């Protein structure tokens, strides 16, 4: 704990030593064409009160890159363009729900898609990109309200898939629609059929409209926002309930609903509230003798909700803004970490310190993860303390 506090103080010292002004994106081209790139990173320092030692019950400390991204944005002379995003993820011992003694690093093409935008009301994006389902997944991970997204909000194929998205804004009603056709679960012989996954989402803003492709977790008191959204997802014959015998074909379906609210008060800061519900089903595939792994676990069959709130203090404290936050989640899993009908409650609180918007940020967060059934070492309840340094250029 003393080492964690020391490194957090070192983060704070570095915060004032670094020039926080983000560089302007490098652009070149002519006649409306350009190419630019940016660099973004998040360095995590974590402590958890379990996971290490001979019996796995001792404290664990870790430091790693949660995200480290280089993004290239291209735009042609007309109404088309593209994005390629590369990401390096550092080796981490502290995972979402467990502690690993064999951490792995990864370097991948996170996103790569073509954009055609003939009108505000109708646009086509094609390639590997975010799944257009939950608000939480569509929120910019470098502009979150709390430390990060919910650990449990992801669904089939986690956060990204390869496909085509048709989307647009309806200014008359301050609305937005999204429809996506993507690969979904495509395990070859381990899936009943080769079928596409279909995703739809719609949202209506009652105050300032959210017309961008990605949402923000907070507007730092610059906008008055009240957006209500909902989504649905479906893939026929997505999984086997017995992947060994190749029997028990099951459909996949899910739905979600969410509300986001942010309101600034003159000389009194800003309040942000956000909540969502998610239900994900694989036709009870978890009851089979050897269910497809995608039908169980953290992204498998489940239902639950989260609620988060923050208050942006008025005025600066030193060179930055202070934003304390809290978060609560309640989830029911069909099966996770070898336990059936498991219930997980997650509680967290912390504070963001923001300089120049989100360009340079330090976040401290404490969280508690409670398993209703502690039946094995991977279902022990635990506490986690995290410090994050975020930088964007």
pLDDT tens-digit profile of 97-149?
999 888 889 999 999 999 999 999 999 999 999 999 999 999 999 999 999 99
pLDDT over 70 percentage in the chain: 92
Confidence band, pLDDT 50/70/90 cuts, at residue 29: low
The DSSP 8-state label assigned to residue 163 in this structure reads: E
| Per-residue confidence (pLDDT) for residue 21, from 0 to 100 | 39
Confidence band, pLDDT 50/70/90 cuts, at residue 22: very low
Query: Which domain does 170 fall in, by range?
Result: 2-392
Q: At a CB cut-off of 8 Å and minimum separation 6, what does 237 contact?
A: 191, 192, 193, 195, 249, 250, 251
b (16+ CB within 10 A) / e for 266-290? eeebbebebbbebbbbbbebbbbee
Segment holding 138, helix H or strand E: helix 135-138
Q: From CA 364, how far away is CA 146, in angstroms rounded?
A: 9
Q: Please, which residues bridge with residue 203 across strands?
A: 176, 229
242, 249 contact by CB (below 8 A) = no
Short-list 174, 194, 176, 175, CA closest to 184: 194
Any idea what the Cα angle at residue 332 is, between residues 331 and 334, rounded to 5°? 140
Q: At a CB cut-off of 8 Å and minimum separation 6, what does 334 contact?
A: 284, 286, 295, 296, 300, 301, 302, 340, 341
| Per-residue confidence (pLDDT) for residue 19, from 0 to 100 | 41
Give yes or no for residue 380 having a pLDDT over 80: yes
pLDDT tens-digit readout, 45-90:
999 999 999 888 999 999 999 999 999 999 888 899 999 999 999 8
Pairing of strands 339-355, 80-89: unpaired
pLDDT tens-digit readout, 290-344:
999 999 999 999 999 999 999 999 999 999 999 999 999 999 999 999 999 999 9
211, 196 contact by CB (below 8 A) = no
Domain total in the chain: 1
Q: From CA 184, how far away is CA 196, in angstroms rounded?
A: 6
Q: How far is CA 301 from CA 58, 98, 320, 331, 388, in A?
A: 31, 19, 42, 11, 31
Report phi then psi at 349, rounded to 5: -150, 150
pTM: 0.91
The residue whose two tokens read 């390639």 is 127
Using CB atoms within 10 A of its CB, is residue 104 exposed (0-12), middle (13-18) or buried (19+)? exposed
Confidence band, pLDDT 50/70/90 cuts, at residue 17: very low
CATH of the domain at 363: 2.40.160.10
Largest Cα–Cα distance in the chain? 65
At residue 240, the 3 state secondary structure works out as strand
Q: From CA 158, how far away is CA 188, in angstroms rounded?
A: 18
The DSSP 8-state label assigned to residue 287 in this structure reads: G
325, 309 contact by CB (below 8 A) = yes
pLDDT tens-digit readout, 182-234:
999 998 899 999 999 999 999 999 999 999 999 999 999 999 999 999 999 99
pLDDT tens-digit readout, 144-192:
999 999 999 999 999 999 999 999 999 999 999 999 999 999 988 999 9
254, 278 contact by CB (below 8 A) = yes
């Amino acid at each position: 704990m003393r080492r964690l506090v020391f490194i957090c103080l070192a983060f704070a010292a570095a915060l004032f030593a670094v020039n926080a002004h983000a560089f302007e994106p490098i652009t070149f081209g002519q006649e409306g064409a350009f190419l630019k790139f940016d660099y973004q990173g998040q360095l995590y320092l974590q402590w958890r009160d379990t996971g290490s030692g001979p019996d796995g019950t001792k404290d664990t400390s870790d430091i790693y890159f949660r995200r480290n991204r280089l993004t290239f944005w291209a735009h042609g002379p007309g109404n088309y363009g593209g994005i390629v995003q590369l990401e390096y993820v550092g080796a981490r011992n502290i995972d979402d729900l467990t502690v690993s003694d064999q951490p792995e690093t990864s370097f991948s093409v996170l996103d790569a898609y073509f954009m055609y935008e003939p009108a505000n009301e109708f646009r086509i994006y094609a390639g590997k990109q975010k799944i257009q389902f939950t608000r939480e997944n569509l929120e910019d991970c470098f502009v979150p309200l709390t430390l990060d997204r919910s650990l449990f909000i992801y669904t089939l194929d986690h956060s990204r898939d390869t496909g085509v998205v048709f989307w647009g804004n309806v200014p008359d009603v301050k609305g937005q629609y999204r429809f996506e056709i993507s690969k979904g679960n495509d395990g070859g012989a381990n899936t009943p059929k080769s079928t596409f996954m279909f995703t739809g989402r719609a949202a209506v803003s009652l105050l300032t409209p959210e017309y961008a492709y990605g949402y923000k977790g907070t507007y730092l008191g610059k906008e008055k926002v009240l957006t209500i959204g909902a989504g649905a997802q479906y893939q026929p014959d997505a999984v086997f309930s017995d992947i060994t015998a190749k029997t028990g074909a099951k459909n996949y379906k899910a739905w979600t609903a969410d509300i986001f609210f942010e309101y600034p008060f003159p000389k009194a800061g800003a309040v942000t509230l956000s909540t969502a519900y998610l239900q994900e089903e694989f036709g009870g595939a978890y009851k089979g003798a050897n269910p497809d792994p995608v039908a169980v676990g953290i992204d498998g069959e489940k239902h639950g909700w989260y609620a988060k709130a923050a208050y942006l203090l008025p005025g600066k404290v030193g060179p930055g803004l202070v934003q304390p936050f809290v978060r609560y989640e309640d989830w029911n899993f069909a099966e996770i970490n070898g336990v059936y009908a498991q219930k997980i409650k997650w509680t967290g609180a912390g504070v963001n310190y923001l300089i120049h918007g989100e360009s340079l940020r330090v976040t401290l967060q404490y969280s508690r993860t409670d398993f209703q059934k502690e039946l094995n070492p991977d279902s022990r309840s635990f506490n986690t303390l995290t410090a994050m340094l975020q930088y964007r250029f």
